[in-house]
Structure 1
Amino acid sequence: MPLTESPVETLKPTRRTMARISSGTFPVSRGYRLRQMLYNPWSIPRYPNNASWTGGIELDGLDETGLVGSDETPDVIIPPMPFDDAPVYADTIDLSAVALHQVWGGLLTPENIAAQVHTNDIRYHAWVAAMKVVEQDRQSRKERTPRERPLLDATMDQFFVELSLALLDLCPGPVIVFVDPRLHDNAAAMVDRARHLVALFDKANLPATEDGIRAAAVLTEEYSIQTNLSLVSCLPHAAACIEAGAKMVTMSVGGILEWYEQQQKPVPKLTVDHPGIEMIQTCVSYILLNKLNATLMTADIRNWTELKQLSGIGGAALTEKQLDQIPMRTLTTWFPRSNDTSRSTINARAAPYPTRYLESKPGFLMSLLPANCRSLVSAVLYVRLGQMKVWMEEIEAVVKDELKHRIKLAKMDVIGMYRCKSWVRRRASKDADGKKSSMGGLSRRSSSSSLASNASVSDSDHLEKPRSSSDCKGTATPLVEGVDYF
Structure 2
Amino acid sequence: MNQLEGLKQFTTVVADSGDIESIYHYTPQDVTTNPSLILKAARLSSYQTLLENVLIYARKQGGNRETKIINASDKLAVNIGVEILKKVPGRISTEVDARLSFDRDMCIAKARKIVSLYQEQGIHKSRVMIKIASTWEGIKAAEELEKDGINCNLTLIFSFAQARACAEAGVYLISPFVGRIYDWYYQRQLLEPYSVYDDPGIKSVQAIYNYYKQHRYQTVIMGASFRKVEQILALAGCDRLTISPAMLEELCNLYQHVERKLFPSIETEAFHQPAPLSESEFRWEHNQDAMAVDQLADGIRQFARDQQNLEKILAEKL
Shorter-chain TM-score bucket reads 0.7 to 0.9
Relative distance call for 1:123 and 1:365 in structure 2 (3 A) is: farther
Is the contact made by 1:152 and 1:400 (CA closer than 8 Å) also made in structure 2? Answer: yes
Counterparts in 2 of 1:152 and 1:284: CA distance versus 1, 3 Å? same
Does residue 1:204 correspond to 2:121, yes or no? no
Residue 191 of structure 1: aligned partner:
108
1:21-420 equivalence runs, <5 A? 27-29=4-6, 84-137=9-62, 150-199=67-116, 200=118, 201=125, 202-221=128-147, 223-262=148-187, 265=190, 267=192, 269-327=194-252, 333-336=260-263, 353-357=273-277, 359-360=278-279, 364=280, 366-369=282-285, 371-373=287-289, 375-402=290-317, 404=318
Question: Which one has more relative contact order, counting CA pairs under 8 Å at least 6 apart?
Answer: 2
Closer/same/farther in 2, CA of residues 401 and 260 from structure 1, 3 Å limit: same
2:165·2:282 contact (CA, 8 Å) conserved in 1?
Answer: no
Structure 1 length-normalised TM: 0.57
The CA distance in 2 between the partners of 1:154 and 1:133, in whole Å, is 6
Residues 12-52 of structure 1, C-alpha deviations (whole Å, 9 max, x = no match)? xxxxxxxxxxxxxx533379xxxxxxxxxxxxxxxxxxxxx
8 Å CA contact retained: 1:250, 1:298: yes
- Listed one character per residue, the Cα deviations across residues 221-249 of structure 1 (whole Å, up to 9, x for unaligned) are 2x221101001112222010111121000
Q: Using the alignment, how far apart are the partners of 1:396 and 1:304 within structure 2?
A: 33
**Matched residues in 2 for 1:338 and 1:108: separation?**
31
8 Å CA contact 2:27–2:88 kept in 1: the answer is yes
SS of alignment partner, residue 170 of structure 2: coil
- Measured on the aligned residues, the alpha-carbon RMSD in Å equals 2.9
Distance of 1:103 and 1:367 partners within structure 2: 36
Shift of 1:256: 1.2
Distance 1:275 1:94, change over 3 A: closer
Aligned position for 1:143: none
Q: Which amino acid aligns with 2:299?
A: R
Q: Secondary structure in 1 aligned to 2:93?
A: strand
**Other structure's SS at 1:324 match:** helix
Q: CA deviation at 1:325?
A: 2.1
SS in 1 for 2:231: helix
Question: Post-superposition shift, 1:292?
Answer: 1.4
Match of residue 10 from structure 1: none
Q: How many residues align?
A: 302
Q: Deviations over 1:287-329 (max 9, x none)?
A: 222221111111110111112222431111111211222339x
Q: Distance in 2 between matches of 1:399 and 1:117?
A: 9
- Give the secondary-structure state (helix, strand or coil) at the position aligned to 1:116: helix
Compared CA separation, residues 100 and 217, structure 1 to 2 (3 A): same
Contact conserved, 1:261 with 1:268, CA < 8 A, in 2? no
Q: Distance in 2 between matches of 1:392 and 1:196?
A: 17
Q: How has the CA–CA distance of structure 1 residues 164 and 212 changed in structure 2, closer, same or farther, with 3 Å as cutoff?
A: same
Q: 1:198 is paired with a residue of what secondary structure? A: helix
Structure-2 separation of matches of 1:266 and 1:238: 24
Gaps of 5+ in 2: 119-124
CA distance in 2, matches of 1:122, 1:187: 32
CA contact (8 A) 1:194 1:204 kept: yes
TM-aligned CA distance change 1:193 to 1:227, over 3 Å: same
Structure 2 CA distance for partners of 1:193 and 1:240, relative to 1, 3 Å = same
Amino acid at match of 1:241: C
The match for 2:122 is: none
- The code of the aligned residue for 2:137 comes to D
Distance 1:300 1:401 in 2: 31
* 8 Å contact from structure 1 (residues 206, 230) kept in 2: yes
- C-alpha contact 2:95 2:132 (8 A) present in aligned 1: yes
The amino acid across from 2:88 in the alignment is: C
The change in CA–CA distance for 1:189 and 1:395 in structure 2 (over 3 A counts) is same
Question: Alpha-carbon deviation of 1:269?
Answer: 2.7
The answer as to whether partners of 2:10 and 2:236 remain within 8 angstroms in 1 is no
| 1:115 CA drift (Å) | 2.3
Hey, what's the Cα distance between the residues in 2 that align with 1:339 and 1:228?
A: 26
SS in 2 for 1:297: strand
How far did residue 334 of structure 1 move? 4.5
